[in-house]
Structure 1
Amino acid sequence: MNDQPRRRPAKPHRRPQKDPVRFLAFEALRAVDERDAYANLVLPPLLKKARAKGDFDSRDAALATELVYGTLRRQGTYDAIVAACIDRPLREVDPPVLDVLNMGVHQLLGTRIPTHAAVSASVELARVVLGEGRAKFVNAVLRKVTAHDLDGWVEKVAPAYDEDAEDHLSVVHSHPRWIVSALWDALGGGRAGIEDLLEADNERPEVTLAARPGRSTTDELAEALGEDNSLPGRWSPYAVRMA
């Protein structure tokens, strides 16, 4: 009789599942980094192609758009947060890995996506585009990120304003330091003015439609959009804003 304990059969290796929304967002981020492409020029053709294949509905397109623009908008802040969660200089992290990490950080700190979903979706994306080894690295870093919310991380990673005002504003408002300096010079100094400007510059832009005289009216545009999705233009009587 064999007294040796039976060895359990190894679990079959699960193939990573490709999430079309996050994969498309990753493609757009890589194009911006590799080719110095403009996100607003790269993203629409990718969305159009995905819709033509039947992979996307309007909610998928909205999420992909938020992942791309939100990640890029707060990239400077997210870079500082990732740097605080790793044991190597940020420049030593391969750009594709950093794109997956920053997109994961945006889901954790900049959206209402639940924490477990943000981490698991990011790790799954990493498995697809980076491989199992780097997916483990992404998992470890993002789990560290969950320790604080965005305000907590900013307070932790941004230098004190009194010690280095421009670097503080650069990290807090996710603008390159040279842009902070140029804008501050243009305003003529004063903390409130520069912070208000940098904060406004990070706001999601509104979509504004123009009614061409003789072809349509603002009432027709508002009716087409629906009462809950239209606002009058701020500056022009021919404008309608999408809510």
Structure 2
Amino acid sequence: MTDARDRHLAGLAERDRRLAYELSAGVLRRQRELDTALELDRADPRLHDVLRLGAYQLRWLTRVPSHAAVSTSVELARETVGEESTGYVNKTLRQLHRDAGSGMRDALTTHPDWLVRRWTTRFGPEETQRLIAWNDTRPPLVLQSIRWSLDRLTDELRASGIDTTLAPFGAGLEVRAAHPASRIPHPPSLPGFAEGGWIVQDPAHALVARFAAIP
């Protein structure tokens, strides 16, 4: 899926490509919650993804104006199914927006029931809820030093005005936004990318390699 997505996004401007990545990953992450709120069992299957994309923008992408999310979804429905579908999409998304996402807050979880049952048995209900909430958050950008030392990577990023902190258990360097309203820089724009000084890797993966003593 990632390869197919990347091929379709190759010609987009950086800003549009970031939005497309956010939409595709976000809809997959929140699909169960979206489907519950939208009552998709009543909708034409050809409209499912159109409605999911629109609802995700309304609920989680605050920088996208609600009228733009609705109108774009209506146009997409017109192209995908036909004129007869536009009224349903418009009504459904506007109703969802008026309800301020209450249906989504009522959804039990974004995770499958079998997994929630397993976690509840192993960890208890409170720890399971914390685990679900953590698993639903967007992961941070963590760099693992390769050709550069960790000290050099830290110094180079700091010299470029980029804030960092050590990842949990010292498993990499987490890149942070300069302030809450700003965005984390795109990895290719960071110092050391062209030189192969580091790679993007989740701390959990890095810890596996560390404890398995993989060279």
User: TM-score, normalising length from structure 1?
Assistant: 0.64
SS in 1 for 2:170: coil
CA distance in 1, matches of 2:67, 2:119: 39
Shift of 1:93: 2.8
Distance 2:31 2:119 in 1: 19
Percent of matched pairs sharing the same residue: 31
Residues of 2 paired with 1:218 and 1:133: CA distance?
Answer: 58
Q: Secondary structure at the match of 1:71?
A: helix
8 Å CA contact retained: 1:74, 1:173? no
Partner of 2:113: 177
Map of 1:201 onto structure 2 = 135
Point out the more displaced range, 116-125 or 129-138.
129-138
Name the CA shift for 1:176/1:207 in 2 (closer, same or farther; >3 Å).
same
Q: Distance between the aligned counterparts of 1:102 and 1:231, measured in 2?
A: 35
The residue type equivalent to 1:96 in the other structure is R
SS of aligned partner of 1:172: coil
Query: Contact conserved, 2:164 with 2:174, CA < 8 A, in 1?
Result: yes
Cα distance in 2, alignment partners of residues 64 and 132 from structure 1 = 25
Residues of 2 paired with 1:127 and 1:73: CA distance? 26
Distance 2:65 2:122 in 1: 41
Q: Contact 1:173/1:199 (CA < 8 Å) preserved in 2?
A: no
Q: CA deviation at 1:133?
A: 1.6
Q: What is the CA RMSD across the aligned residues, in angstroms?
A: 2.2
C-alpha deviations, 1:58-102, integer Å up to 9, x for none?
Answer: 21111111111111111111111111xxxxxx3353333111101
CA contact (8 A) 2:119 2:128 kept: yes
2:74 is equivalent to residue 123 of structure 1: yes
Residues 42, 180 of structure 1: alpha-carbon distance in 2 compared, 3 angstrom cutoff: farther
Shift of 1:41: 4.3
Q: For residues 192-220 of structure 1, what are the alpha-carbon distances to aligned partners after superposition, in whole Å with 9 as ceiling and x for unaligned?
A: 111101111101112222112xx212344
The answer on 1:240 being equivalent to 2:159 is no
Structure 1 pair 121–220 and aligned structure 2 pair: CA distance change class (3 A) = farther
Q: What secondary structure is seen at the aligned counterpart in 2 of 1:209? A: strand
Q: Does 1:105 align with 2:55?
A: yes
Structure of larger gyration radius: 1
- Tell me the secondary structure at the aligned position of residue 98 of structure 2: coil
1:242 Cα offset (Å): 2.8
Give me the whole-angstrom Cα distance separating, in 2, the residues matched to 1:236 and 1:46: 36
Instruction: Mark the runs of 5 or more structure 2 residues left unpaired by the alignment.
Output: 177-215
The count of corresponding residues between Structure 1 and Structure 2 is 173
How is 1:45-64 mapped onto 2 (pairs within 5 angstroms)? 45-47=7-9, 49-50=10-11, 56-64=12-20
Q: Retained in 2: the 8 A contact 1:67–1:106?
A: yes
SS of alignment partner, residue 231 of structure 1: strand
Name the amino acid aligned to 2:80. Answer: V
TM-score (norm 2): 0.71
User: Residue in 2 aligned with 1:149?
Assistant: 100
Hey, what does 1:137 align to over in structure 2?
88
Corresponding residue of 1:4: none
Give the corresponding residue for 1:18: none
CA contact (8 A) 1:173 1:202 kept: no
Q: 1:126 Cα shift?
A: 1.7
Aligned match of 1:15: none
- List gaps (5 residues or longer) in structure 1: 1-37, 51-55, 84-89, 159-170
What are the residue-to-residue correspondences of 1:70-81 with 2, within 5 Å? 70-81=26-37
